[in-house]
């Protein structure tokens, strides 16, 4: 073929551009839905979570605790009251409503799905987000993980803050129904210093009563440092803890200035956070942390709706289905473009395509 002398004809460039645009649109048309990693486990965990929610709702009504359909518009039974004797902190009702989506179980499968059956995770909970606690338990059940759980009996606003139907009561209902094969190994009062400070004597008595009636070891220590040490002893019974998971604002986990800790996975100790709490102690042990604190931010990350009415269906959305382009087509089109570009630059194609006259 006759080699190129001079610039490429504009007509050739236009044809090349049109061809590239055609390839681009064909590739866009190749988008198709693909199940995400751990799709089956995510779906199963969300279904288990939904069924657990139903059991808790039935038990709540059975015990005579009515559901406030204004503050719990989806009638989940997982939303408490604004104030109660065992309420320890403020919480946004919107975040509580967001957390009642059973698809959060799929979030935990997304975060923990790479672990192997019988792997151990250390877990710190309180009653602030009972729906998220159940979502985590659902993921652990599906993935066959072994959680070592320490709970605080108290709760923030709108959480499991009914004195006679606390988080520990909910947990026991699910355990005794053989729904989950694990429960809390120990429980604290919560509050300031995790020892009930900030509660009235009557409220502390109610919290202790909740711990005792649910047959859970009462972790009551002289000071906050001893509390952390006792918790760490329980957690590190297993020498192979894969993650520390915190849900809520328990002072033992996040300290009094919890907003300085990020939500999500934490692998390194934040440079501007020097508090001696469970999260920093676990990071010192080279144990990564999953901190579930800013619920709405986590929901946004996984494209879950905020305070949805009604609750969204299970199995739809980013957690379950992702859109993918055809890799094969992309490779083929790229090779064709490279080959054409080579010939356009190397050879005088317009001589053959447009019968170009060549000056002697």
Residue-by-residue pLDDT tens, the chain, 360 positions: 778 777 888 888 888 899 999 999 988 888 888 899 999 999 999 999 999 999 999 999 999 999 999 999 999 999 999 999 999 988 999 999 999 999 999 999 999 999 999 999 999 999 999 999 999 999 999 999 999 999 999 999 999 999 999 999 999 999 999 999 999 999 999 998 899 999 999 999 999 999 999 999 999 988 999 999 999 999 999 889 999 999 998 899 998 766 678 899 999 988 777 789 999 999 999 999 999 999 999 999 999 999 999 999 999 999 999 988 888 889 999 999 999 888 888 887 777 777 655 454
Neighbours of 83 (CB within 10 A): 9
Give the ranges where 199-326 is alpha helix by DSSP (H).
Answer: 201-213, 224-235, 251-254, 278-284, 295-301
Task: For residue 346, give Cα distances in angstroms to 131, 292, 336.
Answer: 66, 59, 15
315-332 burial, b at 16+ Cβ within 10 Å, e below that, comes to bebebbeeeeeeeeeeee
Question: In this structure, what token pair is assigned to residue 349?
Answer: 């194609």
Please tell me the predicted confidence (pLDDT) of residue 356.
Answer: 55
Angle at 108 between CA 124 and CA 237, to 5 degrees: 40
Name the one residue in this structure whose structure tokens are 């957390």.
99
Cα dihedral across residues 346, 352, 357, 360: positive or negative: positive
CA atoms of 160 and 53, how far apart (whole Å): 13
Q: Distance between CA 1 and CA 4 in Å, rounded?
A: 9
């Amino acid at each position: 073929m006759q080699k190129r002398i001079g610039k490429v004809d504009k007509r050739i460039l236009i044809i090349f551009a049109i061809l590239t645009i055609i390839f681009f649109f064909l590739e866009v048309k190749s988008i198709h839905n693909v199940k995400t990693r751990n799709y089956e486990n995510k779906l199963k965990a969300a279904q288990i979570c939904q069924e657990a929610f139903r059991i808790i709702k039935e038990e709540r009504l059975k015990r005579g605790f009515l559901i406030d359909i204004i503050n719990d518009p989806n009638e989940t039974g997982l939303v408490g009251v604004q104030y109660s004797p065992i309420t320890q902190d403020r919480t946004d009702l919107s975040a509580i409503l967001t957390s009642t989506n059973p698809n959060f179980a799929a979030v935990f499968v997304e975060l923990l799905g790479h672990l192997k059956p019988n792997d151990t995770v250390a877990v710190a909970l309180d009653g602030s987000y009972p729906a998220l606690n159940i979502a985590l338990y659902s993921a652990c059940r599906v993935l066959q993980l072994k959680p070592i759980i320490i709970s605080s009996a108290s709760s923030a606003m709108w959480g499991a803050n009914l004195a006679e139907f606390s988080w520990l009561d909910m947990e026991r209902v699910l355990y005794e129904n053989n729904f989950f094969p694990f429960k809390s190994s120990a429980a604290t009062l919560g509050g300031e210093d995790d020892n009930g400070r900030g509660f009235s004597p009557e409220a502390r008595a109610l919290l202790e009563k909740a711990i005792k009636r649910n047959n859970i070891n009462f972790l009551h220590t002289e000071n906050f440092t001893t509390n952390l040490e006792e918790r760490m002893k329980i957690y590190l019974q297993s020498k192979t803890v894969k993650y520390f998971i915190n849900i809520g604002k328990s002072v033992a986990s996040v300290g009094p200035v919890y907003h300085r800790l990020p939500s999500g996975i934490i692998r390194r100790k934040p440079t501007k956070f020097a508090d001696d709490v469970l999260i920093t102690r676990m990071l010192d042990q080279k144990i990564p942390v999953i901190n579930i604190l800013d619920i709405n931010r986590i929901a946004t990350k996984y494209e879950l709706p905020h305070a949805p009415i009604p609750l969204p269906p299970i199995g739809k959305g980013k957690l379950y289905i992702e859109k993918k382009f055809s890799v094969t087509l992309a490779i083929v089109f790229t090779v064709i473009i490279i080959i054409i570009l080579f010939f356009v630059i190397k050879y005088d194609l317009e001589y053959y395509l447009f019968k170009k006259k060549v000056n002697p």
